[in-house]
Amino acid sequence: MKKLILPLLFVAFYSFGQKQLTIEDFTTRPVFIQKSVTGINWMKEGKFYTSQDGNKIVKYDIATGQPVETIVDGATLTPALEIDDYSLSGDEKKILIETGHESIYRRSSKAEFYIYDIPTKTLKRLSPNGKQSYATFSPDGSKVAFARNNNLFFVDLATGIEEPVTADGKFNHIINGSTDWVYEEELSFAQAFYWSPDGKKLAYYRFDESNVKEYNMQKWNKGALYPEDYTYKYPKAGEDNSLVEIWIYDVATKQKVKADIGSEKDIYIPRVMWTQNPNMLSIRRMNRLQNTLEILHADAATGKSSLIFTEKRDTYYDIDYTDDLIYLNDGKQFILTSERSGYKHAYLYTITGSLVKQITNGEWEAVQVVGFDEKTKTLYYISTEGNYLDRYFYSISLDGKKKMKLTPSSGTHAINMSADYQFYIDYHHNSTQPLVVSLFQTKGNKLVKVLESNDALKKTISEYALPTKESFKYPSADGSTQLDGYMLKPINFDASKKYPVLVYQYSGPRAPSVRNGWGERGWHYLLVQKGIIVVVIDTRGTGYRGEKFTKQTYKQLGKFETEDLVAGGKYLGTLSYVDKDRLGIWGWSFGGYTTSLVMTKGAGTYKLGIAGAPVTTWRYYDNIYTERFLQRPQDNPTGYDENSPVKFADKLQGKFLLIHGTGDDNVHFQNSVALEEALILAGKQFRSHFYPDQAHGFRGGKINHHLYTLMTEFVLENL
């Protein structure tokens, strides 16, 4: 389960404007659009980068940040194309253009791809045989590989011949070159093939999901005479997974070998990548309970592998978080991140898996490795050092010395560095400042140009009377730690009055809602303008404060979170300006789950709850996510059942609104059906609303307009 972001309104208070927010302002006609700079491709010269500007691909001079050339304009091509995305070949003479993008699940998609030859200004369709997925240039730009209909192919661009790598793909049975549903959702990737550094081989995943149980989801298709049954493989907690194999295909000989990943079949292969050696493939392997990570090195010619690294955790290994692995050019060492010290840090190892040294160190997190400059032996990373609510950009030498903070401004920094590490683009925002995108020269840390300041957004929001965030802390239920929150008060706030409060939370593992960053839900500001204080809080387990803090919810997911949300409500009730009898709480996805628990197992503190797309029993959710935190149901039945709102339906107190989309492929509508049935049998009155064919995150301005109108009316009527 990944944190779901509902439509956002990026706003802050600059002046006492006169305009009042409407639901249309953040649904059908969003007026607070935060601009960014996207589609960045650093060019190998180091002097230029490309970016997408509307339907054009534009070349920019790094030294000035100014455009120097429009490489291609989709509108002038024959045929004219709407450019959805693009990539450059290694020699920068060709562009792979994606158009007609069609989403499948969260990360998977298919589209038509075209090859644009820059010197000759000619355009060719990649394949006439149906839409493709994840089309990718070979390193030398001579070929393009892609997945289609559960098989893997490549096209030789010189001849135009399309070559099949696999032929046994079959829907709901065999998948080649793409992931199955649960890998895509919980291990965060959909493309499952990789060119070797010399472009001579393709490594790819093969999933056999024949024995994975199916979930049937009806599609109502806007009133069709008969609904459509959509059946796909979804492994719930404790159930069978796909059998995974890793294969290596030789492009010249058309021969392939299977990599040796061991005899145990009930495992995960969360990551595969090539080392700097084109004959050595790096494979990461995890056990079913996800508390052991191993790195294998496989010979690309024979498939024979050797185990070179093992790490075990007492709780679980979070591959999405400790995902950083860099093989150095000398072929003798690699950099890996780990929580072995109690905080996520970077470590240097020999190619055979012996620890050389810890590179970063301290009671803070090296959240993400941005890259490693081989010439200067400098590691670049994002860090929480100084404040876990911030994200700073740092550099450090490979020996752990010469540490430097490159972005002193507080807030959240995301970094995109050039391939030669001479320049970087900083995406920076904080609680009082919207996104500012700036180009820097790394040497001397010199600002070259502000690429986007969002001044237009600042001007727009200055016309509205909107509140600022006020940070606070509250004690966890057991008093062991201080937890974070912030509140939004009405502009005409009067401390002598009593106000109703609506609490928003997500509360999932390593998924905080409170940070020093820009962004707030437009709906929250609408409620504030109607005289309601909106509060956002985090609970134990929400992360970035060390492994112990994050993983204390292990094997009892929902327990501490619910206790802390109740404690947070009680803390708010002690404030002189809060009406403790008019507290509400809401959340979506994991936040819908915890809202449901608070209103049942933790009933009595909140008068009102809104639960969107909630898990109501972890027995219904997918196995990779659920077992990571709870183990299997057969290992830990109490952990599953003692924190399920279905079990505590008879304890519901207050006004409760349950919302779900019937087309939710992630958190199935089945969850809400189970809770509804339990509430009905317990004689509890509540409200529910379903949205036909909507997925986990609702799409469309009209749909979201209806959703926020529904929730607004429910809050105003009952809080």
Residue 657 lies inside a defined structural domain of this protein: yes
Q: Is the pLDDT of residue 12 over 60?
A: no
Length of the chain: 719
CATH code at position 582: 3.40.50.1820
Mean pLDDT of 571-593: 98
Could you give the number of structural domains in the chain? 1
How many beta carbons lie within 10 A of that of residue 573, not counting itself?
15
Q: Is the pLDDT of residue 64 over 90?
A: no
Q: Which amino acid is at 615?
A: V
Give pLDDT, residue 162.
97
Give pLDDT, residue 2.
60
14-57 pLDDT tens trace: 334 478 899 999 999 888 888 999 888 999 877 899 999 999 99
Of 663, 665, 695, 625, which Cα lies nearest the Cα of 241?
625
Phi and psi angles of residue 326, each rounded to the nearest 5 degrees, phi first? -125, 125
Q: Is the pLDDT of residue 223 over 80?
A: no
| Choice among 44-58, 137-151, 313-327 with the minimum mean pLDDT | 44-58
The fraction of the chain above a pLDDT of 90, given in percent, is 90
Residue 487 lies inside a defined structural domain of this protein: yes
pLDDT band at 349 (very low <50, low <70, confident <90, very high): very high
Of 135, 141, 71, which Cα lies nearest the Cα of 100?
135
User: From start to end of 300-374, where are the E strands?
Assistant: 305-312, 325-327, 333-338, 345-350, 355-358, 366-373
Give yes or no for a contact between 423 and 442, defined as CB atoms under 8 angstroms apart. Answer: yes
pLDDT band at 159 (very low <50, low <70, confident <90, very high): very high
239-286 pLDDT tens trace: 999 999 999 999 999 999 999 999 999 999 999 999 999 999 999 999
Residue 403 lies inside a defined structural domain of this protein: no
Stated pTM of the model: 0.94
Residue 41 lies inside a defined structural domain of this protein: no
How many beta carbons lie within 10 A of that of residue 292, not counting itself?
16
Q: Which residue range is the domain that position 594 belongs to?
A: 465-718
Give pLDDT, residue 74.
96
Residue 320 lies inside a defined structural domain of this protein: no
Cα torsion for 602, 606, 611, 614, to the nearest 10°? -10
Residue 15 lies inside a defined structural domain of this protein: no
Give pLDDT, residue 38.
86
Average pLDDT of the chain?
95
375-408 pLDDT tens trace: 999 999 999 999 999 999 999 999 999 999 999 9
pLDDT band at 3 (very low <50, low <70, confident <90, very high): low
Residue 683 lies inside a defined structural domain of this protein: yes
Q: Is the pLDDT of residue 175 over 70?
A: yes
Residue 701 lies inside a defined structural domain of this protein: yes
